[in-house]
Structures are given as structure tokens and as C-alpha cells.
Amino acid sequence: MPSHDARILRGAAIPTAVAGVVAMAIAFVVAQGKGLLGALLATVVVIAFFGAGQLALTRFGRNSPQMLMPIAMLVYTTQILVVGVLLAVAKHLTFFDHKVFGFSLLGLVIIWMCFQVRGWLKAKTFYVEPDGKPKSGRQS
């Protein structure tokens, strides 16, 4: 994984994990053990799904840079659909608090996205060749 992609992944995962710990503490105060478990599951889901999405973008972007935007849209849409299916399935489970899970999931997804965008904006990614020579061999 290139260093700038690893920086983006860390830059989103660490604040999300910290926010997850805060969500777990609040959930424990509000809804005791079931709330704590709901916030813990939400934290694991967000870090796992969105981390896997970032890894997929890194891999596919390296293999086919011109397809990065369609792949990014597909990965994001798939992540949102999987989270939606997970929420639909989770409402039938009784071992954790559904409201805490849902609100924690929503908050953590927003935090992940904000810090991922921040990482992309701060990444020093060249959009021209630094040596000034075009790759195609044509002279301008």
C-alpha cells in the first residue's frame, strides 16, 4: 500500500476508533450493557467495512487509475447497501440496543467520511509528471 493511502486509512480509522470509544462510554451510561455492545458492534462494522473499502480502492486504483472514480462510486454504494442490510437484519436481534447501534453507526460513518475526505485533501498526490516529460512520448 502506498504511503499516502496508508496515511488516509490511518487518518480515518484512528478518529473513528476514538469516537467509537466515546460512543461506547455514552452508550454504557444511557443503556448499560446492551448499549455498550451496540456501540461496540457499530464501531467494528464501520472500521471493518470502510477500511476494507479503502483497501479495495487502493488496489483497484493501482491496477486501473482511469477507472478509479467509477470504482470509488461502486465501493461506496456497496458499503451503504451492506450497512442498510445489516441494519435491517439487526432489528431482529435482541442482544444489543438497536437505537444505540443505529445512532452510533450513523455518527461513526459521518466521522469516517469526514476524516477520509480530509486525508484525500491533504494528500500530496501529483497530477502532473514532476520531471516535465509526458508519458505518451508526444511533445507539447
Mean pLDDT of the chain: 84
Q: Is residue 103 part of a domain?
A: yes
- SS3 of 56, please? helix
Q: Within a domain: residue 10? A: no
Q: Is residue 92 part of a domain?
A: yes
Which residue range is the domain that position 81 belongs to?
A: 34-118
pLDDT of residue 37: 93
Contact indicator for 12, 54 with CB cutoff of 8 Å: yes
Residue 17 lies in a domain: no
Do the beta carbons of residue 41 and residue 25 sit within 8 Å? no
Contact 58, 1 (CB under 8 A): yes
Domain presence at residue 83: yes
Q: Please tell me the predicted confidence (pLDDT) of residue 53.
A: 87
What is the structure's pLDDT at 80? 86
Q: Which residues of the chain have pLDDT under 70?
A: 1-2, 124-140
**Gyration radius from the chain CA atoms:** 19
Calculate ∠ Cα 14-107-53, nearest 5°: 55
Please report whether residue 100 resides in a domain. yes
Give the per-residue pLDDT at 104.
92
Instruction: Please tell me the pTM assigned to this model.
Output: 0.78
Q: Is residue 101 part of a domain?
A: yes
What is the C-alpha to C-alpha distance for residues 105 and 85, in angstroms, rounded to an integer?
13
Q: How many domains does the chain have?
A: 1
> Is residue 97, in this structure, part of any structural domain at all?
yes
